[in-house]
Structures are given as C-alpha cells and as structure tokens.
Amino acid sequence: MPIEKIKERRQKWKDNGQYQYQQMLLAFIKQYNPEIQISCEDITQAYQEHKNAEPFTPKMSKEDFLALRNKYKIGIITDGSAFESKVPKIKEFFGVDIDGYIYKNNTLPSKPNAAMFHEFCKTYSVKDRPVAYVGDRDDLDGSMAKNANIRFIRVDPTQPTINMEKFTKELNAIEEQRMAARRRWGLLSNVVTTNTATVECARRSLGLKV
C-alpha cells in the first residue's frame, strides 16, 4: 500500500477521533484474514498488556530525577493508558511520586489537541503556568505544547538516556526568560503606577477631580 494512502487513512481516522494505529493495524490484519474476530479494543488491550509486562527503564538517574523533583512539580500527559502501570514504579524506583498523571480516554481528544493539558491543570489544581512540556515528538508533543501556549523541550527517543546537560540547559534558559519577562512586567507596572500617582497629584493641586 502506498505511503500516501496510509497517511491519508491515518489522518482521516485522526480527524474523526477514532483509533489511529489500531484501526490501521486492524485493516491490514483483515486484509489477509477477513474472518478473524478482533477489534480495536482487543488490539489496545493486547498492547497494554505487552507494555505492562515490560520492565521499568527510566531514562534518567535517581539523582537527576530527585534534583528536578526538588525544584519542579512533575506530571505526565499521554495519549494511551499503557503507561499507567508504570506510575507506581516511578515512586518505587526514585523514592518519590509524581504530582499527577492523565491519559486520553473517550472524553478527551488526542494530542496535539491541548484538552488533556487543560484537564490536567483542572484536575490537579495547577495555578501557575507550567515551565515546559517535555516529549519526544515534535508533531504531537511539540504541537500540543504550542496549542497550550507553553514551551516545549524535545528529548531524543532513540537514546537510552536523556542528555541531562542539554536538558538542564534548555530548562534553565526557559526559566531565565520567564524571570526576565516578570521583571519587565514588574518594571512596567511600577512605571504605570508611578505615572498614575503623578497625574493624580497634579489633578489634586489644580483642584480637579481624581
């Protein structure tokens, strides 16, 4: 089957909010075995069971994770529920838990739609704007971050571990930009307040209404 046809089908299923990879795999299976009794839900369940059986292999050391955890709140947003079984293992391995976890279900659209991000913030009462969204795909994770108006940090999925030097450098750069923006806003607010106070003082001296 031509790659263009595959992309066209996947995009159609995606636009309709249907299963994507499962629907495509099911189409291929039925092409060669039309009599097989299997559904997208069966494929999803089999995939989840396979993922659940995989060992937990973190991409950063305990020391690096704890350094991040001591400074930031950490949550996970994912399209599938296969990672759910790994959440308890995070605490088991690192000794501390994450702050929240949410995955796509029948009521939430997939990434890059920002609905899961907003639902996460609502569920876990996230008041301050998150520093960044970390992911390994520009098309899904990067686009979702853009739609949610937060910065995106991409990690290489082909590498066994995260390049912490590069990752920390990007994170610190985002933090510095945020602090600089806050300082500029604080200065602007001060100027506006000062100018307003000056105008009010001048109006009072002229006997005008303030």
- Of the two residues 73 and 84, the one the predictor is more confident about is 73
Cβ burial, residue 70 (10 Å; 0-12/13-18/19+): exposed
Domains of the chain, residue spans: 3-53, 62-162
Closest listed residue to residue 145, CA positions, set 118, 105, 179: 118
Cβ burial, residue 141 (10 Å; 0-12/13-18/19+): buried
CA distance 54 to 57: 9
pLDDT value of position 119: 93
pLDDT (tens digit per residue) in 165-203: 999 999 999 999 988 877 877 766 565 555 655 556 555
CATH number (3.40.718.10, 3.40.50.1000, 3.40.605.10, 3.30.70.930) of 62-162 reads 3.40.50.1000
122 pLDDT higher than 80: yes
